[in-house]
Amino acid sequence: MDFVNEPALLDDDRAERERPTAEGTRGKSKQLPYLISTLTAPVEAAPWRQIFRSKDDMAMIDATGLGAETVRHGEERFFHLYREAAEAARDGHLLLLCPTESDPTVYAMPRLSTSPRLILSQLCAALRASALGHVSLILPYVHTVGEIDRIRQLIDRAMRLLAGRGEPFDEAITVGILLATPASLLLSRKLLETVDFLLIDADTVTRLSVAADPHASPELMNESAAAVLRLIEVGVGNAHACGRFAAVGGQMVSDHRYLPHFLAMGADALFAPAEQIPEMRRLARTITQNSR
């Protein structure tokens, strides 16, 4: 499944959907966005067969912050996390968010890129999983092109290691980036030149935009919503200008006050915890029907 030209559909009503154009632009479409179920580690008990019910379903494993224990277990621990999901994703698409040793924050990528043992273990496991189903990689909290280049080099290294061991993997695996700072969204067109798709963490963008801690009052966050939505729209627009798939996630996307804005800006997908997907689907359909 190609993220640029053939993203997964939310439902079976394909006649009402329009695929992104060759340039990746959908414009002010009133079509439903795709929904991506997000699962955080541990994921061993996740209902993968229910999540991947058809070839159009997508899910993301957020393995950030797995900690030093996973690092000690290395590649096999990561592969154990991914194998069952990847096998189930033969009828869907699995996104793997590269983990960090102990800090799932905007500092993740600088620290990850200086921890080759961690990243190589994860990359080898993810690449092995790509031989079992439709799998893509996501680089967390990217800030610069240089960070992407360094991880790309490590991906190439992981591929050489697996090839030397005679293990199968998807040589054309797609790689995306997760952006969460105002600066990275403003620079997203440049960052997207060497990757295949974009995910935006709306909650972290909001906190950083107003210099708020994770426990800031809802009033403060709500008062800043207009500015945050504009930043996210810049990121989505840049992705479409580059012919890239753009998804947005966080508590903001499941809030009925803001969901219409994400539909209007043409976000290709919304990602949220798996248990929130049914309600988001209901809200999206209601908003779309009422706007016709």
Query: Which carries the bigger pLDDT value, residue 242 or residue 281?
Result: 242
pLDDT tier at 255, thresholds 50, 70, 90: confident
pLDDT score for 204 = 86
Total of domains in the chain: 1
In a domain, 232, yes or no: yes
In a domain, 19, yes or no: no
Asked if the model's pLDDT at residue 261 lies above 60, the reply is: yes
Q: For the chain, what percent of residues have pLDDT higher than 70?
A: 67
In a domain, 170, yes or no: yes
pLDDT score for 253 = 85
In a domain, 9, yes or no: no
In a domain, 5, yes or no: no
Instruction: Report helix, strand and coil shares of the chain as percent, to nearest 5.
Output: 50, 15, 35
Query: Which carries the bigger pLDDT value, residue 103 or residue 251?
Result: 251
Distance set, CA 95 to CA 56, 137, 174, 179 (Å)? 13, 6, 10, 15
Over the stretch 159-212, which tens digit does the pLDDT of each residue have? 999 999 999 999 999 999 999 899 999 999 999 999 999 999 998 898 888 776
Quick one: average pLDDT of 5-15? Answer: 32
Over the stretch 101-152, which tens digit does the pLDDT of each residue have? 444 444 555 555 556 677 788 889 999 999 988 889 988 888 889 889 988 9
pLDDT score for 10 = 31
Q: Could you list the residue range(s) of the whole structural domain that residue 196 is in? A: 27-290
In a domain, 15, yes or no: no
- 246: which strand partners? 198
* CA dist., res. 142 & res. 179, Å (int): 6
Asked if the model's pLDDT at residue 70 lies above 60, the reply is: no
Distance set, CA 136 to CA 15, 29, 59, 163, 238 (Å)? 27, 26, 10, 19, 21
pLDDT tier at 15, thresholds 50, 70, 90: very low
- 241: which strand partners? none
Q: Which of 44, 51, 126, 21 is nearest to 278 (CA)?
A: 51
Quick one: average pLDDT of 33-44? Answer: 66
Over the stretch 76-111, which tens digit does the pLDDT of each residue have? 877 877 887 787 766 667 888 775 544 444 455 555
Residue found by looking up tokens 């800090």 in the block:
103
In a domain, 7, yes or no: no
Whichever domain contains 276, its CATH number is: 3.20.20.60
In a domain, 1, yes or no: no
